[in-house]
Amino acid sequence: MQQKITTFLWFDQQAEEAVQLYTSIFDDSRVIDVQRYGEVGPGEEGSVMTIEFELAGQRYLALNGGPEYRFNEAISLYVNCDSQQEVDHYWSKLTADGGQEVECGWLKDRYGLFWQIVPRVLTELLADPDRARSQRAMKAMLGMKKLDIQALRAAADG
- Render each residue's pLDDT in the chain as its tens digit; 158 residues: 678 999 999 999 999 999 999 999 999 999 999 999 999 878 899 999 999 999 999 999 999 999 999 999 999 999 999 999 999 999 999 999 999 999 999 999 999 999 999 999 999 999 999 999 999 999 999 999 999 999 999 999 99
Domain termination residue (choose one: 39, 54, 69): 69
Same domain, 157 and 105: yes
| Per-residue confidence (pLDDT) for residue 40, from 0 to 100 | 87
Same domain, 102 and 46: no
Same domain, 48 and 91: no
**Partners of 81 in the beta sheet?**
119
Same domain, 75 and 127: yes
Same domain, 100 and 42: no
Domain with 29, as residue range(s), is 1-69
| Per-residue confidence (pLDDT) for residue 1, from 0 to 100 | 62
Domain termination residue (choose one: 53, 69, 85): 69
Same domain, 41 and 111: no
Distances (CA, A) of 101 to 28, 44, 79, 146: 26, 34, 15, 7
User: For the chain, how are helix, strand and coil distributed in percent, rounded to 5?
Assistant: 30, 30, 40
| Per-residue confidence (pLDDT) for residue 147, from 0 to 100 | 98
CATH code of 22's domain: 3.30.720.100
Say how many domains are in the chain. Answer: 2
Residue 14 burial (C-beta neighbours within 10 Å; 0-12, 13-18, 19+): middle
Integer Rg of the chain from CA? 18
Domain termination residue (choose one: 21, 47, 69): 69
pTM: 0.94
